[in-house]
Amino acid sequence: MVEIFWRRWVINSLEKEVEGFRKNTFLFLFIIISLSGLVTAVDWRFNLGWKVFSTWVFFIYFCQILFIILTRDYLLSKFLLCTTVMGFVELFADHWLVSTLQVLFYPKDEPHIWVSPSYMPLLWAATPICVAYIGWAFIKKFGLFRILLAQSVVGLCLGIFWEGLAKGAGCWYYQGKDLIMIYDAPLFIVTGEALFVPSLTYIFLRLSNAKHPVSIPAGIIMGLGIWLFYYVSYMIFQG
């Protein structure tokens, strides 16, 4: 019954209503984000370290590129270009957290780009795209406001979940004398991520009818937006 409901009401209706939507893409990204949570949880449970996590990030990014090539999903290619640019611009936010605030710490024995792990840009490229694509797909059915509100909650929950698992897995952690924490995540970080997820979903909505090159400035805006969300949240809760 659940499978019939899923196929008929959700997938089939989205294919009819949402221009550019493909059920195979939806299911592929849903599987990617689900397995990413599972791999991170296993890494956390057995303390496997950054090597396992890094390998997984490169693997799923490669899978997404391969999927785009095989399926010729033009829309997903625009979204992935956006998040890839975003991931590299986000390095400025990481530098602010690591070098300026000195609250974010990474293992010193792994390869780095600037002050961030070498996999970090692709992590920002490969995982948020899954959540934002799913949110984008449901906008027409449930309305923009409801979806963006739901995505804020999703961003908050995922922030708490992933930051905690990342610390246990030995990938990164936050530490500071006066930091207001929720589990292992600073409040200003999860608040920033609660703002980031709906913002990326909205960017996807705007990109869906835009030409490919627009993905590049959109990615730059979102990359700088991550730093802005963190900065504003930090000034509110820690400033």
- pLDDT in the model for residue 91: 97
Mean pLDDT of 133-150: 90
Cα-based distances in Å from 193 to 11, 41, 154, 199, 214:
28, 20, 9, 10, 23
Flag the least confident range among 17-26, 105-114, 172-181. 17-26
Phi/psi at 18 (5° precision): -105, 115
- Rounded to whole angstroms, the Cα distance separating 141 from 139 reads 6
- Rounded to whole angstroms, the Cα distance separating 189 from 114 reads 20
- pLDDT in the model for residue 57: 94
Question: What are the residue ranges spanned by the domains of the chain?
Answer: 2-237
Mean pLDDT of 128-136: 92
Residue reference for tokens 């009818």: 209
- pLDDT in the model for residue 164: 86
Mean pLDDT of 13-23: 63
**Taking 50 as the threshold, does the pLDDT of residue 58 lie above it?**
yes
How long a stretch of residues is the chain?
Answer: 239
- pLDDT in the model for residue 21: 67
Mean pLDDT of 162-173: 88
Name 182's bridge partners: 185
Residue ranges of the alpha helices (H) in 183-214?
Answer: 187-207
- pLDDT in the model for residue 14: 62
Residue reference for tokens 């922030």: 159
Establish how many alpha carbons lie within 13 A of residue 191's alpha carbon, considering only the half-sphere containing its beta carbon: 17
- pLDDT in the model for residue 162: 86
- pLDDT in the model for residue 23: 80
pTM score > 0.85 for this model?
yes
**Higher-scoring residue by pLDDT: 119, 5:** 119
Structure confidence at residue 183 as a pLDDT band (50, 70, 90)? confident
- pLDDT in the model for residue 15: 58
Establish how many alpha carbons lie within 13 A of residue 54's alpha carbon, considering only the half-sphere containing its beta carbon: 17
Phi/psi at 149 (5° precision): -65, -45
Mean pLDDT of 19-40: 85
- Got the DSSP string for 61-118? HHHHHHHHHHHT-HHHHHHHHHHHHHHHHTHHHHHIIIIIS--EE--TTS-EETTEET
- pLDDT in the model for residue 11: 59
- pLDDT in the model for residue 2: 44
